[in-house]
């Protein structure tokens, strides 16, 4: 699988995640899938609704936000294809916590955000047996 992210949408993601810093930011990737290619057509930047004061290392998107996002995607003739979130001051690699709460099939775009710069961006898919992530090709162009 490859995730194709137009540069203008990547920039929208970066604006949202850098504005969330030093907290984790998150949102949905909306688009289409054809064969082994996923194309992001729009992003939905959301509030981090983690309930405690640990938003610097945790993010949460609530069920009502998930429902709204699915409805928005359908209205545009698209579908939810993944989630993006930031790792403030940490590498763009999924953690054990990311794995435990990951949904199958979704592309998980992770971007390292530091105080004065944007780090790497990577994208991942949960394995069939849920025990690890598999990195997918990320094309930003």
Partner 1 sequence: MANIRIPTPLRTFTNGDTDITVKGNTVGEALLDLTSQYVELKQHLYNEDGKLRAFVNIFLDGDDVRHLNGENTAINAESSLRIVPSVAGGFI
Residue ranges binding partner 1 (CB under 8 A): 24, 26, 50, 54, 57-63, 66-67, 70, 73, 79-80, 83, 85, 87-88, 90, 94-95, 97-98, 101-106, 108, 129-130
User: In the complex with partner 1, which residue's Cβ is closer, 62 or 134?
Assistant: 62
For the CB of residue 141, give the shortest distance to partner 1 in the complex, in Å: 25
Token couple for 55: 């938003």
Beta bridge partners of 136: 123
Residue 68 burial (CB count, 10 A): 14
Token couple for 38: 């996923």
For the CB of residue 79, give the shortest distance to partner 1 in the complex, in Å: 6
For the CB of residue 94, give the shortest distance to partner 1 in the complex, in Å: 8
32, 33, 37, 39: CA torsion to nearest 10: 10
Which residue's entry shows tokens 């209205």?
Answer: 75
User: In the complex with partner 1, which residue's Cβ is closer, 67 or 141?
Assistant: 67
């Amino acid at each position: 699988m490859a995730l194709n992210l137009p540069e203008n949408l990547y920039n929208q993601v970066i604006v949202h995640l850098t504005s969330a810093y030093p907290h984790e930011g998150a949102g949905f990737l909306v688009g289409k899938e054809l064969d082994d290619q996923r194309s992001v057509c729009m992003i939905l930047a959301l509030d981090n609704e983690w309930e405690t004061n640990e938003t610097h290392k945790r993010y949460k998107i609530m069920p009502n936000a998930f429902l709204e996002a699915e409805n928005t995607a359908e209205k545009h003739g698209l579908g939810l294809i993944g989630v993006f979130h930031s790792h403030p001051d940490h590498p763009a690699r999924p953690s054990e916590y990311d794995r435990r709460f990951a949904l199958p099939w979704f592309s998980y775009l992770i971007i390292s955000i530091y105080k004065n710069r944007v780090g790497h961006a990577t994208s991942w898919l949960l394995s069939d047996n849920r025990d690890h992530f598999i990195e997918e090709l990320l094309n930003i162009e």
